[in-house]
Structure 1
Amino acid sequence: MLAFKGGAYRFQLLGVCIVLFFSQSVAVCATTEEFQFNTDVLDVNDRENIDLGRFSRSNYIMPGTYGMVVHVNQSDLPEMPIEFYSPEFNPQESQVCLSPELVKLLGLKESLMPSLSWLRDGKCLDIRTLKGIEARGDLASSSLYLSIPQAYLEYTADNWEPPSRWDDGIFGLLLDYNLYAQTQKNVSSGQNSHTLSGNGTTGTNLQSWRLRADWQSIMGSGGRAGRKLEWSRYYAYRALPKLGAKLTLGEDYLSSGVFDSFRFTGASLRSDDNMLPPNLRGYAPEVVGVARTNAKVIISQQGRVLYQTQVATGPFRIQDINDAVSGQLNVRVEEQDGSVQEFTMNTANIPYLTRPGMVRYKLAAGRPSDLEHRTQGSLFGIGEFSWGINNGWSLYGGALGGSDYNAMSLGLGRDLLWLGALSFDVTQSWAQMPIENRTLSGSSYKLSYSKSFEEYDSQIAFAGYRFSQEDFMSMSEYLDMSFDASRRGKSKEMYTISFNKHFRDSGLSAYLNYDHQSYWDRSANDRYQLSLSRYFDLGRFRNLNLSLTAFSSSDGARTDDGMYLSLSMPWGNSGTLSYNSTLNRNDNTNSVGYYNRIDDRSNYQINAGNSRSGLNMSGNYTHYGDIATVSTNASYGANSYRAFGVSTQGGMTLTAEGGALHRSSFGGGTRLLLDTGGVANIPVRGYGSSTRSNRWGKAVVVDVNNYYRNRASINLNELGDKAEATNSVVQATLTEGAIGYRKFDIISGDKAMAIIKLADGGEPPFGATVINSREQEVGIINDSGSVYLSGINAGARMTVHWNGQAQCEVLLPQLLPEDLLMNTLLLPCHELSSKNEIQPDTKSYGN
């Protein structure tokens, strides 16, 4: 025992006797030691008036239940009630109770679960069962820290959690929307047109189920008269983590790596690659093109709008389409001069390879249907698989069966190591034609290749060739010919390639996208886009960029091709000055443009130049607001047209914990509701720009990923002087479509020095704590009752705690000095009435 002279305060350190059994028994035993702390080292006038009971035992927490965030190694779990109790063998020690509900979230291997031992009638895990586990509670940060050897845990990766930690979120309602309004005047004809269009998703979450309805609408006058509102799709889905799959009921589009996509009503069960670690996930389609003016790009599939956005003049590349989309996409580019570009793109699948020993599958059953929710054709069933035979080979295939249409497919995928990946498959179809009363039978052959050449800074993102015999039909072609005689298009040959290359020595980057589709019964479609870009210095000018884009699109009846040239250079702190030239069959334009990023929320671009018709000007402005993303654009062509457009993308989320308007999410997608404890105007962020909590202290961030360890934080650089965050980072791993909920602990109010006096003229003991009405610790009493207080608000009530309970009450003045930091508040501490007495020293859920 160590002792010091003078006034002393006793601390106890409880030793733990640990016996380890290896090949030779080794016993390690630490006896109980008592320490005395010399209070003479404290610069305190009244040494008898000291309350250090909260520090008297190392890591000691009074028995009770506390709301705590659980930290498991490097990851976080949501706040939950954590119980601390005194074990029977030593009442002076505190022990954390790891409940069965908490243990399920730790990510322990399934093989360990039967060997676990439990205490207190199965309520608490006996952590001695798993050697090496350490648990430590911290009341100051309301946290429980668990250190668990990695050997006990399921597979984890950077930013990815095992299924046991996935969060289905909370009950809630949601509405996501994308609205676009435009007014346009054709100068030559004098005709005015006005259009309002939109699309989005509404729905609700019930535990692990997601109920959704997609909508799209258009209203117009003048040259685009009409009004239309469609509920294009009703469906429900949920994740099945144990199967690594997604179950969907209702109206859906077939997602297949073997067969073409078509719309149906029924049920599907498919392996979800998004549930895999990020480095094992798949491929998402992208759409590229060139806009001649400010334009609206609409991407649809079989009549359903999947995505629409506003793009500025010049090349565009859309890469944030849902990776579940497969099959042929229809792209429509509506220019502000009234012209329209339309083309189709095939979403390519990378060669079908599966990890050794794994099986991926997709099952579906139902009846084909159309946008009017009418079923077409007979019942069908489909199943497909991919089996990783070994490190090099994968076998894949499937079958689609119905009374009128049947198809079978079989293929092989091969990992060629440094040569890339290759797959080949054959599909055979049998179609009973109702009009012709005969059966058509044919085959289709497909070859796919993918390769990254890191040593050459290049990548063949996808290359494919497909040939189909004249009597071969996909399901979508069969439905078109059976129920819509006006639609034709039996596929013959298809080539597609996407290629990237970076020439490091010259600083040149190249991108090529090429699609060719020929048919047995109509003209072929061809489309390519080639982009070259190079950064260089010229004299005192640095980081100049020269880019050239050539494009061509042909459907047999019409060819649309052209070139776009741009030279840009930095101008000022955040601006870019550019020269742009566009050459196509109908017009040549030359313009000078200026782009500037005002801040991380706002940017604008203006262009002015000439064309064959005369002067033309355009501009657009985009603002990423707290409740929506708003873009405005205007275009003017002398003797040609005038146009103005506004687009708004946003959403609304409402739950029992509160709700907020917010920026847009991919229709009905995953989101995270952040609670700042009723404090408004707190800047929070996911991975993008900040958004601020509303008047009720709620904000929603939508830049989160499914089955991915997402982090949300308070932007401390933008946090005002009247707010203080005791925890500024939260984590969540959410299932698809979930509404996650996380809470920050915010102390709101001014800060100032104060002196607290008791009714008898004395002061609270040294080390006493000051707790506000929200049970947050806002100060610790120093010598002579002085304290630096946080969270000062006019008329607020605070309590002063020592000896483990509230002892007196402080009422702040209704009128506070203008400059609190230059003043010291004198605060009397009144006796507590029994009805206002608060027993726990921390936030408590009851013993």
Structure 2
Amino acid sequence: MKRSQRCRARTGRDGPRLAALAALMSVWYPVSGYGESYFNPAFLSEDIASVADLTRFAKGHGQAPGVYRVDVWRNDEFIASRDIRFDEAPQAPGASTKSSGLTPCLDSDWLKRLGVNMRAFPTLEKYRKGECVALEQTIPGALADLDFAALRLNISLPQASLSNSARGYIPPEEWDEGIPAALLNYSFTGNRGSGDDSYYLSLQSGLNYGPWRLRNNGSWSHASGSGGNWRNIGTWVQRAVVALKSDLVMGDSNSGNEVYDSLGFRGVRLSSSDSMYPDSLQGYAPTVRGIARGNAKVVVRQNGYVIYQSYVSPGAFAINDLNPTSSSGDLEVTVEEKDGSRQQYTVPYSTVPMLQREGRLKYELVAGDFRSGSAQQSTPFFVQGTAIAGLPRGYTLYGGSQVASRYKAVTLGAGKNMGEWGAVSLDMTHANSELSDGSRHQGQSLRFLYAKSLNPYGTNFQLLGYRYSTRGFYTLDDVAWRSIEGYEYEMDSDGDGHRVPVARSYHNLRYSKKGRFQINLSQSLGGYGSLYVSGSQQTYWGTSESNTWYQLGYSGGWRGISYSLSWSWNKSMGLSDSDRIVALNLSVPLSTLTGRHYLRETALDRAYATFGASRNSDGNSSWQTGVGGTLLEGHNLNYSVNQGHSNTSGSSGSLNANWQGTYGTLGAGYNYDRNQHQYNWQLSGGAVAHANGITLGQALGDTNVLIKAPGASGVRIENQTGVQTDWRGYAVVPYATVYRYNRIALDTNSMNNHTDIERNVSSVVPTQGALVRADFDARIGVRALIALNHNGRLVPFGATVREVRSGAVGMVGDEGQAWISGLPLKGQLLAQWGEGADMRCLARYALPPSVMNKPVAITAANCLSVSGMTQEGSQ
């Protein structure tokens, strides 16, 4: 029986009880006036003795004081999910009313977490650490109200009482370094064909302890005729340096690419971490300044959308926490005064990768041995330092230096937001180099970057760049080559099942780099799709050859149908002649072909007919058509069937399927052409070892969440394809977002008849590389309606009931029936309906194993007086 059906069945039987509870709830809210409200228990039963002591509810206190896990919201902004103690709210005449009858106990630490400017309220100093602060009396205009049904604590604080912190700021105290754990990622692929078998295994392992992360990447490959080969790709240790908002890496890693090209190294790197800053302080956005005549609302729009709204005090203001949006688009600022008057003005805005916000300093320090993975390059020790500083008026200043035994370089540059003219950066690098043949060189390189959007026309220059280098300019990567000229080879199949060496790369230092042009341009055509141009060209001194890549494309869509047309041109110096390719692709939902309305709700809606065709400059042409889509309830089975033809290899076809499950991903496929038949497979997943055992799952990300819900097996995780708890109630959610709130929710509709979870949502804030645990309190057992009789009478309505051993709790409704979930098959129920020793009783019950196959067990039990029983004995 489905969960919704179970709920309906239970609700139907509990109708009279719920009606009485509804009548009772109508008096839980205070009545205006100074007279005290009184609820007559005779409304619930003619026999007043059959009703429990409901004094607390009759006086307007709707919920019992205690500790509740709630979502804390401040001014409609989510702050955290935490356990908070709630006390009875004051009910004196004129006091603010609480719908739940409860008020939170918030100490000074909590006020800091909420962003309260503690210096503005001297009376806060009298409160000791951990002491509850009288929020509404201390901060004028502050309100705290608990929505008990949603377990949401809504806190309203005047803007003037808050510190000037950026939107989305999460204090480091909220960051979770995770639990000690060992981690393993694996991916095994195989290919078996006509005389050509190959296998590849990738392993990524790690250890976490506190803020420290140890990682290793390695791979094993095997091919027919060449045997197996193990390769250690890299090993490193890293941790966050919170005080510096930076990351420390020791071992094998790569440098950044803002000022210099990214380089592999084995050594140490200390660099700024953008992830530690809130979204509103990442990237570049201009500082919006203005003057308000009085208390005013400031609204900032970009491309017609509101991207920022806040309230400011009279006088000059500066907004420096705008979220980066598109790379450009003027900001329209509106200052709305209380008297209805408005100021409106425009702040031009464009950005290039080098720009930083005013006051932001981004840096990187690297020291170590150069490391490229190529045997043809040496490993010189080098030191590198870079810095990028955001200055007032839209300026950014940046620079850096690289120093090695045979290489020295220094860079200086500046960027500027030029408003309606776009954004630009310009830098110069001077380098002294000594190549492997002993020759010494000196040269300069000038780089120019530009970005601009013409929003009225839908044009976006995402990046337009050019670098010019003099004949004597070389990079550290060039200096590391052991020879002036050479090829690098790798073994590959020649198409007939034979392994042959194939040139992978070529270098010739006699031809130093001259000019490099790059572009990334898009043009929106409204409802007719979009055009794009991307590409780059690298020219060299002393030769007409170049490395060139350009791509021009058009794409669009209509009623689920998508289509694209693209053209590309590629040429690599020393490796190949130019190759030009034109391609057409089309995807049509099968529901459209059958005349059904496209909704993506059925397997037919999620199935597509595809067609693709291409032709290159050598006259080789091919086409392929097929069907693909997703199946199963969780859409975690992908499939595709294709058939094609080429004028060089004749007919071809393929069949592929990929399944994402709880413990990993499994894929299999078959393809053929005129020359061969091939079978391939893939198995990938992850595993974590922690204090509670080993948990298998899908492939891990850099940062992950371990779900702990003991006993709750087979429960799906919301918004995660194929992820559900294992037989012990554990699961791994991969790819968590670092330094941000991650909402982890269990799908209650996937729980079985004997699983209940009081709180199915948790929120975690992991640090980089952490395995953070999200705990859920699962109650496993029987759901039961048990009629309790005491001294020949029904146990009073409203009595609380607790199972002594498991702690499962419930409440008695009409007809003396107690609804309790999570019960063991046998145990003792302690019922209590007042403060007196004679107002409680103990019932022993035993349920047959067959009730495990039923959604609800219905039974009765005698409840015996326990007036002489000690408190300890009742527990």
C-alpha deviation, 1:469, in angstroms: 2.0
C-alpha deviation, 1:608, in angstroms: 1.1
Question: Which residue of structure 2 aligns with residue 574 of structure 1?
Answer: 606
Distance 1:119 1:508, change over 3 A: closer
Match of 2:657 among 604, 621, 625: 621
Q: Distance in 2 between matches of 1:86 and 1:534?
A: 59
Question: Which residue of structure 2 aligns with residue 510 of structure 1?
Answer: 531
Aligned 8 A contact 1:684 1:713 in 2: yes
Higher RCO, 1 vs 2 (CA within 8 Å, ≥6 residues apart): 1
Match of 2:845 among 804, 811, 814: 811
C-alpha deviation, 1:248, in angstroms: 2.5
Task: Give deviations 1:41-93, integer Å, cap 9, x for gaps.
Answer: 224644454132553665598787x4634514242534447486999x9xxx9
2:773 corresponds to 1:741: yes
Distance 1:448 1:648, change over 3 A: farther
Question: Which residue of structure 2 aligns with residue 364 of structure 1?
Answer: 366
Unaligned runs of 5+ in 1: 1-7, 16-29, 284-348, 537-541, 840-847
The 5-angstrom pairing of residues 419-430 of structure 1 reads: 419-430=421-432
Aligned 8 A contact 1:752 1:820 in 2: no
Question: Which residue of structure 2 aligns with residue 196 of structure 1?
Answer: 200
Q: Distance in 2 between matches of 1:12 and 1:508?
A: 58
Match of 1:786 among 812, 817, 830: 817
Distance 1:777 1:132, change over 3 A: farther
C-alpha deviation, 1:534, in angstroms: 3.2
Match of 1:221 among 220, 223, 230: 223
Aligned 8 A contact 1:622 1:631 in 2: yes
Percent of counterpart pairs with the same letter? Answer: 24
Q: Distance in 2 between matches of 1:675 and 1:44?
A: 48
C-alpha deviation, 1:194, in angstroms: 2.1
Q: Secondary structure at the match of 2:472?
A: coil
C-alpha deviation, 1:476, in angstroms: 2.3
Distance 1:567 1:86, change over 3 A: closer
Q: Distance in 1 between matches of 2:29 and 2:44?
A: 21
Q: Distance in 1 between matches of 2:155 and 2:693?
A: 31
2:619 corresponds to 1:563: no
Aligned 8 A contact 2:803 2:823 in 1: no
Task: Give deviations 1:772-801, integer Å, cap 9, x for gaps.
Answer: 568666532023312333335533655434
Aligned 8 A contact 2:252 2:265 in 1: yes
C-alpha deviation, 1:755, in angstroms: 0.8
Q: Which amino acid aligns with 1:648?
A: L
C-alpha deviation, 1:807, in angstroms: 4.9
Question: How many residue pairs end up in the alignment?
Answer: 729
Q: Distance in 1 between matches of 2:606 and 2:753?
A: 28
Question: Which residue of structure 1 aligns with residue 631 of structure 2?
Answer: 598
Aligned 8 A contact 1:235 1:252 in 2: no
Distance 1:236 1:388, change over 3 A: closer
Match of 1:546 among 563, 570, 583: 563
C-alpha deviation, 1:731, in angstroms: 2.1
2:669 corresponds to 1:633: yes
Q: Secondary structure at the match of 1:116?
A: helix
Q: Distance in 2 between matches of 1:485 and 1:765?
A: 92
Q: Distance in 1 between matches of 2:547 and 2:453?
A: 28
Q: Distance in 2 between matches of 1:107 and 1:654?
A: 38
Q: Distance in 1 between matches of 2:698 and 2:865?
A: 49
Aligned 8 A contact 1:753 1:821 in 2: no
Task: Give deviations 1:463-488, integer Å, cap 9, x for gaps.
Answer: 22112223222222222358998765
Question: Which residue of structure 2 aligns with residue 728 of structure 1?
Answer: 760
Q: Secondary structure at the match of 1:646?
A: strand
Q: Which amino acid aligns with 1:503?
A: L
The 5-angstrom pairing of residues 433-582 of structure 1 reads: 433=435, 435-436=437-438, 439-481=440-482, 488=508, 490-505=512-527, 507-520=528-541, 523-536=545-558, 543-556=560-573, 557-559=575-577, 560-572=579-591, 573-582=605-614
Q: Distance in 2 between matches of 1:279 and 1:224?
A: 53
Q: Distance in 1 between matches of 2:819 and 2:542?
A: 83
Distance 1:574 1:738, change over 3 A: same
C-alpha deviation, 1:595, in angstroms: 1.1
2:428 corresponds to 1:409: no
Q: Secondary structure at the match of 1:581?
A: strand
2:801 corresponds to 1:770: yes
Q: Distance in 2 between matches of 1:567 and 1:62?
A: 61
Aligned 8 A contact 2:523 2:530 in 1: yes
C-alpha deviation, 1:660, in angstroms: 2.5
TM-score (norm 2): 0.73
Distance 1:404 1:223, change over 3 A: same
Aligned 8 A contact 1:170 1:655 in 2: no
Q: Secondary structure at the match of 1:533?
A: strand
Q: Distance in 2 between matches of 1:403 and 1:113?
A: 59
Aligned 8 A contact 1:480 1:488 in 2: no
Q: Which amino acid aligns with 1:195?
A: Y
Q: Distance in 2 between matches of 1:447 and 1:141?
A: 54
Question: Which residue of structure 1 aligns with residue 699 of structure 2?
Answer: 664
Q: Distance in 2 between matches of 1:524 and 1:796?
A: 82
The 5-angstrom pairing of residues 149-298 of structure 1 reads: 149-153=158-162, 160-164=168-172, 166-186=174-194, 191-200=195-204, 202-207=205-210, 209-240=211-242, 242-278=243-279, 280-282=281-283
Q: Distance in 1 between matches of 2:381 and 2:541?
A: 28
C-alpha deviation, 1:255, in angstroms: 1.1
Unaligned runs of 5+ in 2: 1-23, 93-100, 285-350, 488-506, 592-604
Further displaced range: 419-428 or 705-714: 705-714
Match of 1:50 among 49, 52, 55: 52
The 5-angstrom pairing of residues 9-158 of structure 1 reads: 34-43=36-45, 45-47=47-49, 49-53=51-55, 55=57, 58=60, 66=67, 68-69=69-70, 71-73=72-74, 74-80=77-83, 82=85, 97-99=105-107, 102-103=110-111, 105-109=113-117, 116-119=124-127, 123-125=131-133, 127=135, 128-135=137-144, 146-153=155-162
Q: Which amino acid aligns with 1:580?
A: G
Distance 1:836 1:485, change over 3 A: farther
Q: Distance in 2 between matches of 1:514 and 1:797?
A: 75
Q: Which amino acid aligns with 1:642?
A: H
Q: Secondary structure at the match of 1:430?
A: strand
C-alpha deviation, 1:282, in angstroms: 4.8
C-alpha deviation, 1:402, in angstroms: 4.5
Distance 1:224 1:610, change over 3 A: farther
C-alpha deviation, 1:636, in angstroms: 0.9
Question: Which residue of structure 1 aligns with residue 713 of structure 2?
Answer: 680
Distance 1:722 1:428, change over 3 A: same
Task: Give deviations 1:18-47, integer Å, cap 9, x for gaps.
Answer: xxxxxxxxxxxx998643222222246444
Q: Distance in 2 between matches of 1:819 and 1:213?
A: 47
Aligned 8 A contact 1:543 1:569 in 2: yes
Q: Which amino acid aligns with 1:605?
A: S
Question: Which residue of structure 1 aligns with residue 744 of structure 2?
Answer: 712
C-alpha deviation, 1:220, in angstroms: 0.9
Q: What do you get for the CA RMSD once the two structures are aligned?
A: 4.1
C-alpha deviation, 1:413, in angstroms: 1.0
Question: Which residue of structure 1 aligns with residue 98 of structure 2?
Answer: none
C-alpha deviation, 1:258, in angstroms: 0.6
Q: Distance in 1 between matches of 2:160 and 2:844?
A: 52
The 5-angstrom pairing of residues 274-423 of structure 1 reads: 274-278=275-279, 280-282=281-283, 350-369=352-371, 380-423=382-425
Q: Distance in 2 between matches of 1:420 and 1:619?
A: 49
Distance 1:837 1:151, change over 3 A: farther
